[in-house]
């Protein structure tokens, strides 16, 4: 396994992967690596650098796109233009020095909680802004 930039994908269908492949080629994105269900309990480092599998399968019905050593300009382009390709909106995240040591399952659940927290907070702000007579 090499240490170059990669984009890790979780929970995409074969058809979605075909579209992602074409999209990534047009924006100059690096190599894609799919995280398989039998890799969910492995650390992100193991997924990136070891050809390992786990006996235990992991399931999470969320799409996740993890960027490992990817140029920030490419990340922004992928996030900005993926809607033009009718791709499902995933949870986007960058692999950090800390998160690379986490089991993917823990990282994924943390990302879902984080996304839900931000969404709830933003929904609350929208509600507050749309009601000028609110006492809050």
User: Per-residue pLDDT tens for 33-70?
Assistant: 999 999 999 999 999 999 899 999 999 999 999 999 99
Domain boundaries, given as residue ranges, for the chain:
6-130
Distance CA 9, CA 126 (A): 31
CB 8 within 8 A of CB 48: yes
Residue 127 is predicted with a pLDDT of: 67
CATH-assigned architecture of domain 6-130: 2-Layer Sandwich (3.30)
Q: What is the C-alpha to C-alpha distance for residues 5 and 32, in angstroms, rounded to an integer?
A: 9
Which tens digits make up the pLDDT trace of 73-82?
A: 999 999 999 9
pLDDT of 6 > 60? The answer is yes
Q: Identify the three-state secondary structure at position 130.
A: helix
Taking each helix axis as running N to C, give the angle between helix 72-81 and helix 14-27, from 0 to 180 degrees, rounded to the nearest 10.
130
Burial (CB count within 10 angstroms: exposed 0-12, middle 13-18, buried 19+), residue 107: buried
């Amino acid at each position: 396994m090499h240490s170059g930039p990669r984009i890790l994908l979780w929970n995409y269908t074969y058809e979605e992967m075909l579209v992602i492949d074409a999209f990534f080629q047009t924006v100059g994105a690096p190599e894609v690596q799919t995280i398989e269900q039998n890799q969910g309990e492995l650390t992100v480092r193991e997924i990136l650098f070891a050809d390992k599998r786990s006996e235990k399968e992991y399931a999470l019905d969320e799409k996740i796109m993890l960027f490992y050593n990817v140029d920030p300009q490419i990340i922004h382009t992928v996030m900005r233009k993926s809607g033009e390709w009718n791709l499902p909106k995933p949870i986007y995240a960058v692999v950090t020095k800390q998160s690379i040591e986490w089991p993917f399952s823990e990282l994924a659940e943390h990302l879902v909680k984080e996304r839900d927290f931000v969404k709830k907070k933003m929904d609350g702000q929208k509600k507050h802004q749309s009601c000028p007579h609110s006492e809050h």
